[in-house]
A and B are shown apart, each in its own frame.
Chain A
Amino acid sequence: MNNEPRQNPYEVLGVEQDADARAIKKAYFERVRQNPPETHPEEFRRLREAYELLSDPEARQAFDASAAQQADGPEARNNAALQEAINLFEAGDKVGGRRLLTELLNEQPDLHDARILLGRHFLYEGDAKEALAEFDALLARAPDYWQAHLQRGWALLRLERMKEAADAFWRAGKHGPSEVSPRVALADCLEAMGQVADALKVLEQAQSLPGISRMDVLALKVRRIATMLEFGQDAVAAKELDRLDAELPEDADPELRRWTGAQLSAAAAHLFGQQKSRGANQLLAFGRRFNPESATEAAYPTCVTVEVDALPQVTRDWLHSEAERIGGWRVLSTWVMPALFTLICATALCFLLTFIFLGTNERGVWDWVFWAAVAGFGCGAMYYQTRYLLRVMASPYGRFNTIHPLHLIQVAIDRITVWPLVHLQDLQLVNHQNNGVYQHTNIQMRFSDKRMVLTVKGKDKAEALAQELIARRRRVLELLGRGMLDAESGVEHLPPALLASADKQGHVRAPHTPSPWPGVFVAAGIGVLLVGAAVWPQNRLSAEHAWMRVASNADLSTMLEYLREQPDPRFVPQLQARVDAELGKARTQLEARLDPGSAAAPSRAFFTALLDAASRTHSRRITVTYAAQEGARTPQDDPSELLVSAWQRTVDEAVGQGVLVVDGGRGSQREGPPLLTLHVREEVQAGKRGWSVKPEGLELPVAPLDLVADAADPRGSEVLFHAWVDRWHLPGAGDRRPLLLTASTLVQEAQP
């Protein structure tokens, strides 16, 4: 599809005219290596065209025949003149080349190849208007010359006059009814105008051009599929690929199959360039069936993590040399942070286990379950971290980045992360500053659907790295598009086939490397077992501390609560002795207070029984419940609270304060169940107010009582309680002083 006068491809590649395909390919790869497209684009173009021509058997045959014809005659002279102009252009002598072509055109105004060459030269130089003028001049002389229309279309396209360009391409097709290149150009133009369906139609129609070669048909089909994938018509593209596969079965011409594979790679490169990585990979994966020997024409995952041990020896050697070159060996900072983190984890785990074994808090079943879970998790995490630290120490590498011919590679200790450059779609440099002082540059990149950031210190360094990444990507796509990626030096260090073996998470694991999870679970199990082993000693320790807290308090209530709620056989005798000592003091007071001359002396047995029961049952609570017949009392003159406080005073007077506690049935849980309950039931009948008193809970030397007072007496409760005290010979018996201590009537009545 290039209309420039061609150099002799055999001379360009430096091969004999009878060289076989293998020799041609070898020579091509060798020359491309010597003249990479970045530095020698023109030479590369010549090499590529020469290789394309000679690698196509039919084209090579036609060239050989044409060369034999053109060896003599005027056409040979014209060709020689054109070749001389080309040589002048390539030598940079633009003026000389133009003058030569102008002179030639003056001599032979209908030498269209000369005008085409002059126009293309202007187009190449960026002077699209001049080029357009040349092509218009040519068409004025030869309106049906399809190549002139085609070149005019390119010039219009360059001038962004899309519709006119499309028209020019259409005309080129019209006047070159069997030519493929105008159709392809038209399809490109329609695509650029967004008329995808029309473009696909043009490509489809081009396949049925008269006399079209099979290779052109296949090229058009691949092109059509690529367009479909580019514009999201994946389902249709898949069907087309299936058809293509059926069209080229395994027993088809191998060269044709290989050629098709190359076309697919070129289309993939085009799609990568259009940031359609998925479609490109689809094409590459499909193309493997036609070109299975290729090391590079395979699907490229966006990002793959590969364990160093999984790398082939050649890759490891290369990595070694890169580490040597860049200085990526393991250094102090590589292992100190993991070691510190391991130390923190180990310390935390030790604290945890120490707390589990030696903590003094009381724990229930669910507490133990919780701590078992925590210990299991902690041990598992510790194992994982330990394993990581050992891996760090077993790897010679630190952390560094390097660029493979096909990939950006991040090396981290014992694994590498591979970012194929074909997916690189976006790159930005962000300089970070602190108070106006430059700190570092972040190279923010997007590889297909993933983002990654490289931090580089130094603006120039970052810029150079970014430039290199962009150039590398361009070169990879260029080579992929030309089917020459295999020839790139260094691709064998990390073959894409290795990357293709990654699992769904994008990891390539080393064979025979044990998974960490069994170890993690075993460690977790050990943690749980340790917690199980801690239950008994911790319970003992906790009991010791609970006892100590009780002992330090030395409060009778606390001691009784301990004996009642959590009696540990180790401490019960000691604590019981202390309780008995306290109650003994109360007994001594009782003896002194209820002296034989006192009216309350007979109640000694009653209080002694209470103290004995407190020592035995570990409760010191007396409950006085009061219930009145309905309507007998108003809430205001309910004596229940007075009864409780009167009873508290009574027991305090007998045995001292803080020994026994009296409540009305709603006592603190801390005091436990009542030792004695005194049920008082009030009834009013026939002008009499009566209290029936029944003790419950203990065998006491007192009898139930039925007490009666005048219902009209406002001091009825006082009278009844006095009677109760007298009958049971309690403190206050025989004394006329009030015992219930009702609220002062004077205070209630007095107004300031």
Chain B
Amino acid sequence: MSAPSTSPRHGRLLLGGIGICALAVVGVTWTGRAQEKVLFVNALDTPVTVTAGSERFSLGANDHLVRPMPIGPMDVDVRGGEATLAHETVFVTDEGGLFVYNLLGAAPLFITTVRYERNDAPASESEPSSLVVAGTSFLRAGHIDYVLTDPPRSIQMRKEDGRYTTRFHLGQAPGGWAASYGWLMSNHQTAKAARFTEELARVLPETPGARNAALISRMVLSREEGLLASLAATRARRDAQPDDADAQRAWMYDMRRAGRNDEVRAYYQAEVERHPGSLVMAVMLARVEPEPAGTARLEALVRAHPGELLPRRALAVRYARQQRWADALPLLDAMEQGDPDYARYQDTHAEVLVALGRRAEAARRLSERLLQASPETEPPDLDDVQLYAKLVGHASLEGKENAAMRQLVASAQNDRPEGMVVRWLSASLGLPPEVDSPLGTKDDPLETAVRLMLALAEEPGFAARASTQLDFFGFHRLGPEAGLLLAAEFERLGDAALAARTLDLSGVELGYGELQDVLRGTLPVESLTTTLDWGERAALHLVLARQLDAQGRDSKAAYARVKKEILLPGAVSIALQKWDRPKPSNAVAGDSVP
């Protein structure tokens, strides 16, 4: 073997090669680092074409795709057929991890932390944490181990992992945009929900329910932001949908809360003069006109437009509030036959029949109507079942005679815990709950409503404690009668902040100032017959009767009036039966124990 070459050229050549290799390695690595993975998710029922930066690709309905995209601003244009669904500039940053482009923010995406433990580790009691990432079109999800795939039930753990290790899972729930909407609303991310549903309703107006969801979320958001915000939103809706009676009513409601009824009346007066043929404006004016002009206008409208639903509905409700049961019944019977929106008035119909002494007939007609409807397409609402229970006066499912109740409860059960509906019905009737009846989750609005009804059956102080946990959805389940009763009682007891909050959440068409005036005696309850139902008026009368007790004055007539006004069991009947009457010497809640 001879000595190898020692020429310096070899060394330099080798060195040059090393330099080139090093530069190549760094170049390739750095170029690779200049890209990040972006997950494109389309949760809509329509295929789309996505142009992201310089890339163009198709994404099927309810499909997803991962693409590496360069770091920096990225123009995204999404087209569904000819329509542009989204066009925006997002920024892929160098922070690493997975980026998600969720078309319109519609996909119900969530990130969960999956915990894997050794077999010999003690069982963990901690719940896996979840983060909802729906409602946002572009976000950085960070490090994700399982992207839209179910994490495995078990993994191989390394020694250095210790007793447990965690992985991150990005999942997508079924249900599309509606699931995202539900999540965001229940998580109080109302602004996000409003933004994404409004955008959805704008680009895909034919999406069923999108417009309604946008409306509700906007209303809830504006309610959260304050009365002026809510008023501005309802005003905008009123202007956008002048022929929509609900939009008009919503604006009227906010104006009433703001104490600007006179402005409302002037507005509709001017509108009627400007559009004499507008039934909606005429009906709205009749709602705010003082009696008897309002009723007379409605009767005239019904006579002039016998086939029109809107004046008939308004007059039927007006008669019922004025306790003109016999006048209201033919109108409601007619509505039952031909009004597509009759379901909203069936409680009024039932009350009218009860007031006329036909309670059994009311129960029978209601159950027949509810059970005739297809449970798959139109399952009975909880409120309908509650109305039936009030009509029959119990929530028992036992016996042959309660077959209808059994069927109604079964069809309203949905995925609620077994027995939850019965528990709710019992609570709303003031019946004691069964000892072994199951409890729902704390966040379930129905469960919180049950708790409030049970607290209400004890005393106002307990109800105050329970009502602080309730939000808009909880009070919706409770009904305006209970809300007004509590608000008025709280105000009577001097808790103005809680009274105002309860009144706002109950949705009763009564301003806080009006409530104060009623309790001060400067505004008679009878003057509110055009806006308040008999149950709401009964609630005010009950609180006034209790106020008389507290003032040491004779309250027999007042209580008798309340009893007379009660048609169906509910919050007022429960309070009347269960609450201790206040003592005359400046008594407050909690001191009312005999």
Contacts and interface: CB of A to CB of B under 8 A. Distances in A.
Interface string B9-22: 01110110011011
B3 A323 contact: yes
A540 interface: no
Nearest to A392: B11
17 contacts: A330-B4, A389-B18, A390-B15, A393-B11, A396-B3, A548-B71, A552-B91, A592-B235, A650-B226, A732-B227, A738-B500, A741-B497, A745-B495, A746-B464, A746-B498, A749-B461, A752-B462
A540 B376 CA distance: 63
B11 A342 contact: no
A715 interface: yes
A595 B22 contact: no
Contacts, number: 176
**Chain B, interface SS category:** helix
Interface string A387-398: 001101111100
A350 B22 contact: yes
A347 B91 contact: no
A350 B512 contact: no
B21 A343 contact: yes
B3 A329 contact: yes
Interface stretch (A141-149, A185-193, A470-478, A651-659): A651-659
A329 to B, nearest CB: 6
A347 B516 CA distance: 80
Interface in A700-752: 715, 718, 731-732, 734-738, 740-747, 749-752
Contacts of B225: 652-653, 656-657
A589 B229 contact: yes
Contacts of A389: 11, 14-15, 18
Interface string B105-148: 00000000000000000000000000000000010100000000
B590 to A, nearest CB: 5
Contacts of A742: 497
Contacts of A256: none
Nearest to B3: A396
Nearest to B19: A346
B26 A354 contact: yes
Interface string A67-84: 000000000000000000
Given A396-B4, A594-B228, A744 B464 contact: yes
A136 to B, nearest CB: 66
Contacts of B493: 745-746
Contacts of A734: 259
B569 to A, nearest CB: 25
Interface string B513-543: 1001000000000000000000000000000
Contacts of B232: 589, 592-593, 595
A465 interface: no
A732 B225 CA distance: 12
Interface in B219-250: 224-229, 231-232, 235-236
Q: Which of B19, B95, B497, B512 has the most CB of A within 10 A?
A: B497
Contacts of A653: 225-229
Contacts of B19: 346
Nearest to B266: A597
Contacts of B72: 548
Given A342-B18, A656-B229, A393 B6 contact: yes
B25 interface: yes
A394 B8 contact: yes
Interface string B264-278: 000000000000000
A256 to B, nearest CB: 49
Interface in A546-575: 548-549, 551-552
Contacts of A598: 228, 231, 258
A749 B590 contact: yes
Given A335-B14, A351-B26, A395-B6, 10 more contacts: A329-B3, A390-B8, A549-B91, A657-B224, A731-B227, A735-B259, A737-B227, A741-B497, A749-B461, A750-B462
A548 B226 contact: no
A386 B6 contact: no
B260 interface: yes
Interface in A303-350: 320, 323-324, 327, 329-330, 335, 339, 342-343, 346-347, 349-350
Given A592-B235, A653-B227, A386 B15 contact: yes
**Chain A, interface SS category:** helix
Contacts of B227: 653, 731-732, 735, 737
A393 B13 CA distance: 10
B498 A735 contact: no
A545 interface: yes
Contacts of B516: 736
B377 to A, nearest CB: 39
B1 to A, nearest CB: 6
Contacts of A347: 21-22, 25-26
A716 B104 CA distance: 49
Contacts of A320: 3
B22 A346 contact: yes
B464 A747 contact: yes
A501 B535 CA distance: 116
B496 A715 contact: yes
A649 B227 CA distance: 11
Contacts of A396: 3-4, 6
A595 B460 CA distance: 38
B388 interface: no
A744 B589 CA distance: 12
Contacts of B10: 393
Nearest to B460: A746
A339 B30 CA distance: 23
A589 B91 CA distance: 28
B490 interface: yes
Q: Which 6 pairs between the two chains have the least Cβ-Cβ distance?
A: A653-B226, A552-B91, A393-B11, A750-B461, A346-B22, A746-B464
A275 interface: no
Contact of A746 (B95, B259, B490): B490
B1 A327 contact: yes
Contacts of A732: 227
A731 B6 contact: no
A360 B91 CA distance: 15
B86 interface: no
B410 interface: no
A12 interface: no
Interface in A580-619: 589, 592-595, 597-598, 600
A329 B497 contact: no
A173 B132 CA distance: 110
A736 B510 CA distance: 13
B341 interface: no
Contacts of B140: 552
A597 B260 contact: yes
Contacts of A350: 22-23, 25-26
A343 B18 contact: yes
Q: Which of B227, B260, B516 has the most CB of A within 10 A?
A: B227
A627 interface: no
A342 B91 contact: no
B513 A593 contact: no
B494 interface: yes
A395 B516 CA distance: 104
A237 to B, nearest CB: 49
A551 B21 contact: no
B90 interface: yes
Interface in B534-571: none
B367 interface: no
A358 interface: yes
B191 A657 contact: yes
Contacts of A751: 461, 590
A389 to B, nearest CB: 6
A593 B14 contact: no
A740 B497 CA distance: 8
A548 B91 contact: yes
Contacts of B224: 657
Q: Which of B225, B468, B500 has the most CB of A within 10 A?
A: B225
